[in-house]
């Protein structure tokens, strides 16, 4: 139907015609991702996509190379995020975070109540110490030591 179309117009065409079949002669990774987004927003209507590409052709190799570059870019992004250091001024790292403070509950004496008005003169219940499971690889960062400094017990595990 449309011979040459850019990515932005392709999205508009998809939403205006709402096709059930898409045939791509020139396989392009950008158009493929637009079709995936279109399909994800319309789960109730089936959509079939066909690629017309010669086997072992230059066009096929170019498409496969673009998929490989995209995959490598995501793997590189994952690797970089795995080794990122969280800046000291980021949320959750400052001393004012009440969620990471021990005894942040209501009442007196770190969340314990002195009231013995319960029948039989009930005693104060022991406060349970919070526990956090931390992946062993996270010990390269400063977050586990900050959690421990707040009085929260840490259990180191290798999470897969």
Q: Quick one: pLDDT at residue 109?
A: 45
Tell me how long the chain is. Answer: 160
Q: Quick one: pLDDT at residue 129?
A: 78
Give every residue of the chain whose pLDDT is below 70, as ranges.
1-4, 86-127, 160
| End-to-end CA, the chain | 48
Q: Quick one: pLDDT at residue 21?
A: 95
Q: Quick one: pLDDT at residue 141?
A: 81
Among 147, 106, 148, 156, smallest CA distance to 127 is for 106
Q: What would the DSSP string read from start to end of 26-90?
A: S--HHHHHHHHHHHHH-TTS--EEEE---TT-HHHHHHHHHHHHHHHHHHHHHHHHHT----TTS
CB under 8 Å to 41, separation ≥6 — which residues?
A: none
């Amino acid at each position: 139907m449309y011979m040459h179309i850019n990515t932005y117009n392709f999205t508009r065409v998809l939403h205006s015609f709402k096709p059930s079949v898409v045939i791509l002669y020139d396989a392009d990774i950008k158009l493929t991702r637009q079709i995936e987004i279109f399909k994800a927003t319309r789960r109730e209507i089936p959509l079939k996509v066909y690629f017309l590409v010669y086997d072992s052709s230059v066009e096929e190799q170019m498409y496969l190379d673009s998929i490989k570059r995209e995959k490598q870019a995501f793997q590189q992004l994952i690797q970089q995020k795995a080794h990122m250091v969280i800046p000291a001024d980021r949320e959750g790292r400052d001393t004012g975070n009440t969620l990471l403070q021990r005894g942040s509950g209501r009442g007196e004496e770190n969340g314990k109540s002195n009231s013995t008005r319960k029948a039989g003169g009930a005693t104060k219940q022991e406060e349970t110490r919070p526990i956090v499971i931390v992946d062993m690889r996270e010990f390269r960062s400063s977050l586990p030591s900050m959690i421990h400094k707040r009085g929260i017990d840490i259990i180191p595990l290798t999470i897969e």
